[in-house]
Amino acid sequence: MEKLSALEQRVIGCLIEKQVSTPDVYPLTLNSLVNACNQKSNRDPVMSLDEGEVQSVLNTLGARRLVNNVAGFNARAAKYQHRFCNTEFGELHFSPGELAIVCELLLRGPQTPGELRSRCARLHSFGEVSEVDACLHSLMEKGPFVVKLERQPGKRESRYAHLFGDVPVSEPAAPLVEQAGDAQARIAELEAEVARLKARIAELEK
């Protein structure tokens, strides 16, 4: 399928999230969707979209048959639902765990398995991080729909990113010159500390 823009990712992610977490208010009105897109929690980056911007995105997604208005002809307000996945209209079908991960990656960008385990809790309960790993590997094999990013220096876990839009698929390591400079500075600090400790010990011995 075609890549999703950043705003399209936000709209699709919000529709999936509300479908799973608050099914009683889904499909969403335009106003509810704007509020969901601009939510300050569980979003990265936080956005400030108006109704016109979200409506424009909905129109584009509607033309691509990824979103549709399910309100009746005489309804006072349009109500939107996604057709992005897990419908009879498309080829994308995810398990509940996979869907939760895809949703979180659409809403918050690259994340580690540990972060995904805690943040997916409102959409799907993962008992262990190993269950998240299993879903991530399944998503990598299926499309691939997810990619493992290169682990950054000093980080314990690698992050994973979705491949539905123009997102970074790698995280370049810090330049070797910078790493060498940091190491030299750290060595100098340690040497200075050792010198201070030696001087202190000498004073105590006297």
Q: Give residue-wise pLDDT tens across range 102-157.
A: 999 999 999 999 999 999 999 999 999 999 999 999 999 998 999 999 987 888 89
The CATH number covering residue 26 comes to 1.10.10.10
Task: List the structure tokens of 161.
Answer: 């990113």
For residues 169 and 161, the answer to whether their CB atoms sit within 8 Å is: yes
| Overall domain count for the chain | 3
Give CA torsion, residues 201, 202, 203, 205, to 10 deg.
90
Q: Are residues 11 and 75 in the same domain?
A: yes
Give pLDDT, residue 22.
97
For residue 139, the model assigns a pLDDT of: 97
DSSP classification of residue 148:
E
Shared domain for 15 and 72, answered yes or no, is yes
Q: Give the contacts of 194 (CB within 8 A, at least 6 positions apart).
A: none
| 13 and 67, same domain (yes or no) | yes
The pLDDT of residue 74: 79
Is 149 found in the same domain as 114? yes
Q: Which residues of the chain register pLDDT less than 50?
A: 169-179
How much is the pLDDT for 174? 43
Query: How confident is the model at residue 176, as a pLDDT?
Result: 44
Q: Domain ends where: 57, 82, 107?
A: 82
Residue 169 is predicted with a pLDDT of 45
The pLDDT value recorded for residue 153 is: 84
Residue 88 covered by a domain: no
**What was the pLDDT predicted at 1?**
72
Look at residue 112 and tell me if it is in a domain: yes
Q: Residue written as tokens 């810090």?
A: 174
Pairing of strands 146-148, 67-69: unpaired
Q: Are residues 11 and 78 in the same domain?
A: yes
* Distance between CA atoms of residues 89 and 198, nearest Å: 74
Q: Is residue 90 part of a domain?
A: no
Of 58, 82, 106, which residue is a domain's last? Answer: 82
What is the pLDDT at residue 161?
97
Question: Is the domain of 10 the same as that of 77?
Answer: yes
Query: 19 with 69, same domain?
Result: yes
Angstrom distances, CA of residue 32 to CA of 55, 79, 98, 173: 12, 9, 25, 40
Domain contains 24? yes
Whether residue 77 lies inside any domain: the answer is yes
Any domain includes 91: no
62 and 13 within one domain: yes
Q: Name the domain boundary from 82, 115, 141.
A: 82
Nearest by Cα to 139 from 169, 95, 104, 107: 95
| 77 shares its domain with 19 | yes
Q: Does residue 136 sit in the same domain as residue 182?
A: no
Identify whether residues 100 and 155 lie together within a single domain: yes
Q: Which residue range is the domain that position 61 belongs to?
A: 6-82
